[in-house]
Structure 1
Amino acid sequence: MPDSMTMSRNGMVSKIQTRIRTDAFKNNYDLVGKELGRGKFAVVKKCVEKSTGKEHAAKFLRKRRKGQDCRVDIINEIAILESAAGNPFVVSLHEAYETASEIILVLECAAGGEIFNQCVADNDEAFTEKDVIRLAKQILTGVAGLHRNNVVHLDLKPQNVLLTRAHPLGDIRIVDFGLSRRMDSMEEVREILGTPEYVAPEVLNYEPISTATDMWSIGVLIYVMLTGVSPFLGDEKQETFLNISQVNVDYSQDVFEGVSSLAVDFIKSLLVKNPRKRATAEECLKHPWLNGHSNPLPHLHNALRSSLDEPENSPSESEPELESPAPSPELVIVTSYTTCSGQSEMKSVRGAFAFDEPFAARSEIKQELIC
């Protein structure tokens, strides 16, 4: 990233190199098809550049949210995308426009949609372990590039990893840098940021975040890709947080049926409570699972559909009333913006997905944590 950039105390970048255009977006692009995704403060639409005929994804971001001026958050997102311009597995920024109420990011369009769709697919459409190995290498290569630039994503999950195509399986693009932070020149960054099912214990405990915070989320992500199960998801958020704080993970053969022991070992190297003991992205890329596995395995988690209809009993049901793992600032829900997302609504049960939104701490906003 250019030396001229400046950062605020919480790791947000406030200077960008991209020229934000103020001429009319519609003069240069035609919107086509249906919406690709929608959040509380943003909508993503496919567009075609008139001069080239090339397809892009236009992300329309509102500058004011809940009465607050959030332009600085969008500038930070642009800056992070600029810093990742040479990263082959991060969505690329083409250009940006600004109106009185919105900033429009014109992004690469990954037409294959979210890997979330394959994580919850029927047996013949679900990922094989061989698929997961290939995609995991790409995710880790992309994240390693971010971490070399001291950027932490802070919201890695299946909804924020897209595919260039679904059939045949394409390559991945990491998207949605709305919560990302730059860590260099910072003594410590402490913020409550992320999506409940994927957030690391140090975030819940309001301890310093680091590149290791992303590595926990990757451990959860790979668990999900291999099994179709969300490892820490509880019936309520407080149960989810307690599961994370206690690293309450099921590595049983029932969950990992047909999955290699090397894959389980890989996940165990990441779902470690002490961030200093977690494997780094570079270390993960050297793991035997990603370099020595040669036997394609059958499609995984073929019983996921039935599990959605019959919720499992949480192992924490017999425990006393759940409390937060540790005192922390009030949490406030904010929305997740993906680039090319297929929205799905699924039953929120232990062992299946909740299509959840990330949260962020805002000291000036008084609101309880709600979905």
Structure 2
Amino acid sequence: MCSGLNSDYQLCEELGRGRFGVVYRCFSAASDSSFACKSIDKRLLSDDPTDRDCLDKEPKILTLLTGHPNILQIHKIYDDENYLHIITDLCDSPDLYQRLTDVGKFSEPESASIFQPLISAIAYCHHLGVAHRDIKPDNVLFDSRYNKLKLADFGSAEWFGSGGTMSGVVGTPYYVAPEVLSGREYNEKVDVWSAGVILYIMLAGVPPFYGETAVETFEAVMRGNLRFPTRLFRSVSPEAKDLLRKMLCKDVSRRLSAEQVLRHPWIINGGVTQSMADLT
């Protein structure tokens, strides 16, 4: 561990680990606050330039995105020969994946209360020319102090600039957009598709496109046959279904942008639809 890190922070318990690194809780005596420390062992990186690119890119992107309340904030970086240490917000509350696993699905107001800040974070990324490219519940965290949503894990993110396109198959089964799987170039609206999948799962308890294997799931995504089974959507409002149709639209030119999603009536009204209002 580098000396600068050890003089500024006390490393505490392990919170999780991935292919190249470990996330710890760390404590700063100077601020009397806890943070997360993502420690990446550079010696475990392969010679694949993609791995090196991700290592360099994520801290730069997080630094660029500093300031939005719903994006994981980077506080300090320590870099030496063998390790890269990234100090970020501490998010040790259950992530969205765990919350969905525990609850199954949410009411429309509950879904909107999570979805609005998520879309706000995505719109901010797009405004600055960054596409996340791996939006999924596992990357939707909640900080330990205020339970505030934080979009995290920008390892697959890419700069697309003004009107630019991207390429490369990245993302996660269930959440990846069909144009990514097709091998074509694509734009930042891949994030809107992925967010739409999350909203569908929050309201229905199951993903809109799935199969028994990753290949079957990808085939279902490519077909993009969006359905609202009555047994799952009986109590879901027409406004929510309208938003889902406009986000999970295979025609990218007709798919809403993140900014347009923020202006949709279902989002503006916090998931409280006219039919709900009539009951109160």
What TM-score does the superposition give when structure 1 sets the normalisation length? 0.68
Residues 1:140 and 1:261: Cα distance change in structure 2 (over 3 Å): same
Counterpart of 1:225 in structure 2 is: 202
Q: Does 1:236 align with 2:213?
A: yes
Counterpart of 2:101 in structure 1 is: 120
Q: What is the aligned counterpart of 1:103 among 57, 65, 84?
A: 84
Residues 1:241 and 1:107: Cα distance change in structure 2 (over 3 Å): same
Query: How big is the alpha-carbon RMSD for the aligned residues of Structure 1 and Structure 2?
Result: 2.4
CA apart distance, 1:246: 0.3
Q: What is the aligned counterpart of 1:65 among 27, 45, 53?
A: 45
Residues 1:216 and 1:24: Cα distance change in structure 2 (over 3 Å): same
Are the counterparts in 2 of residues 129 and 297 from structure 1 also a CA contact under 8 Å?
A: no
Whole-Å Cα distance in 2 between the matches of residues 246 and 161 of structure 1? Answer: 27
What TM-score does the superposition give when structure 2 sets the normalisation length? 0.89
Whole-Å Cα distance in 1 between the matches of residues 220 and 257 of structure 2? Answer: 23
Residues 1:257 and 1:112: Cα distance change in structure 2 (over 3 Å): farther
CA apart distance, 1:24: 4.0
Whole-Å Cα distance in 2 between the matches of residues 117 and 208 of structure 1? Answer: 33
Gaps of 5+ in 1: 1-20, 299-371
Counterpart of 2:222 in structure 1 is: 245
Q: What is the aligned counterpart of 2:20 among 9, 33, 41?
A: 41
Larger helix proportion, structure 1 or 2?
2
Bigger relative contact order, structure 1 or 2, given CA contacts below 8 A and separation 6+?
Answer: 1
| Cα deviation 1:195-240 (Å, max 9, x = unaligned) | 1211111110111121111110011011112222122221111101
The equivalences for 1:79-158 within 5 A come to: 79-122=60-103, 127-158=106-137
Counterpart of 1:349 in structure 2 is: none
Whole-Å Cα distance in 2 between the matches of residues 42 and 296 of structure 1? Answer: 48
CA apart distance, 1:165: 4.8
Q: What is the aligned counterpart of 1:294 among 269, 272, 279?
A: 272
Are the counterparts in 1 of residues 139 and 151 from structure 2 also a CA contact under 8 Å?
A: yes
Matched length: 273
| Cα deviation 1:42-72 (Å, max 9, x = unaligned) | 2211111132221101111232423446343
Whole-Å Cα distance in 2 between the matches of residues 71 and 256 of structure 1? Answer: 44
Whole-Å Cα distance in 2 between the matches of residues 196 and 143 of structure 1? Answer: 20
Secondary structure in structure 1 of the residue aligned to 2:231? coil
Are the counterparts in 2 of residues 55 and 109 from structure 1 also a CA contact under 8 Å?
A: yes
| Cα deviation 1:259-302 (Å, max 9, x = unaligned) | 2221111111111112121111111111111123436999xxxx
Are the counterparts in 1 of residues 266 and 272 from structure 2 also a CA contact under 8 Å?
A: no
Whole-Å Cα distance in 2 between the matches of residues 185 and 127 of structure 1? Answer: 36
Which shifted more, 63-72 or 169-178?
63-72
Q: What is the aligned counterpart of 1:164 among 143, 153, 167?
A: 143
Whole-Å Cα distance in 2 between the matches of residues 206 and 94 of structure 1? Answer: 36
CA apart distance, 1:189: 2.1
* Identical pairs, percent: 29
Letter in 2 for 1:56: F
Residues 1:77 and 1:296: Cα distance change in structure 2 (over 3 Å): farther
